[in-house]
């Protein structure tokens, strides 16, 4: 299995903090977000950890890798975009990495701006034993809050629908930007990318669950999306 961490966003909602540094390299107390994720991945066996970023921040990640003295199993890809207007989108970057690396293995995908308290070991073991696409879910316990995220309609462990930022959420279970795609499902990403917008993974999951059985895995613990200054400040206190 390979692991892909999505680091190609421009962090516009966090300006001016992220004008010259990517969100993934922001610090929560004394640790950078990406370092926290890399530590989580020690619980998951993988042949390679791939970070995909953009041309603007590519050199920052190269410097980070050298400074941290990271092994060759961690690689960094440049999607060659230079601005928010050029960005490929989350699904576009997944497609870019699959093509660039000629991936023919199971793929675990993580958002680099997610901060969570749980181990990924159980999610990994659950996913590989089912050999089906799996979406990591988190209960925000508020439909009002759920409106800001991708929301799953889950029935007996199966995702029946997945809606991106719905005005009337069908549940309070949101996507935690943690996905498992078995190798036999990767072709659907290319099929979708040829037809639809590649900005969000949520819209893809909504399409995919009409094509095949997609499972939902509910995480328990603390989760934050470091997408704006308020959540960054909250993370500083919760994850100190």
Average pLDDT, the chain: 91
Domains of the chain, by residue range, sit at 2-135+176-195+222-238
- Report how far residue 195's alpha carbon sits from residue 141's, in angstroms, rounded to the nearest whole number: 34
| Residue 106, pLDDT above cutoff 70 | yes
* Residues in CB range of 141: below 8 A, 6 or more apart: 172
Return the CATH fold of 2-135+176-195+222-238: Spore Coat Polysaccharide Biosynthesis Protein SpsA; Chain A (3.90.550)
pTM to 2 decimal places? 0.93
CB-CB contact of 104 with 190 (8 Å): no
The whole-number pLDDT of residue 171 equals 95
Share of the chain above pLDDT 90, in %: 71
| Residue 152, pLDDT above cutoff 90 | yes
């Amino acid at each position: 299995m390979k692991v892909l961490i999505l680091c190609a966003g421009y962090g516009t909602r966090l300006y001016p903090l992220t004008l010259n540094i990517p969100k993934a390299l922001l610090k929560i107390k004394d640790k950078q977000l990406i370092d926290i994720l890399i530590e989580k991945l020690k619980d998951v066996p993988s042949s390679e950890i791939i970070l995909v970023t953009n041309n603007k921040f590519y050199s920052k990640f190269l410097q980070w890798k050298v400074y941290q003295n990271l092994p060759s199993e961690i690689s960094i890809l440049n999607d060659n975009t230079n601005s928010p207007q050029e960005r490929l989108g989350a699904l576009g970057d997944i497609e870019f990495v699959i093509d660039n690396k000629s991936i023919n293995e199971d793929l675990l995908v993580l958002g680099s701006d997610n901060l969570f308290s749980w181990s990924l070991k159980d999610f990994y073991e659950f996913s590989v034993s089912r050999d089906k696409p799996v979406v990591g879910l988190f209960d925000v316990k508020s439909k009002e809050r759920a409106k800001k995220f991708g929301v799953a309609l889950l029935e007996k462990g199966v995702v029946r629908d997945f809606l991106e930022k719905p005005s009337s959420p069908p549940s309070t279970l949101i996507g935690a930007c943690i996905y498992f795609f078995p190798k036999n499902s990767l072709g659907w990403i290319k099929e979708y990318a040829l037809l639809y917008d590649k900005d969000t993974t949520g819209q893809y999951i909504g399409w995919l669950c009409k094509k095949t059985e997609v499972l939902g895995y509910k995480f328990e613990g603390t989760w934050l999306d470091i997408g704006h200054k308020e959540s960054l400040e909250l993370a500083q206190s919760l994850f100190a």
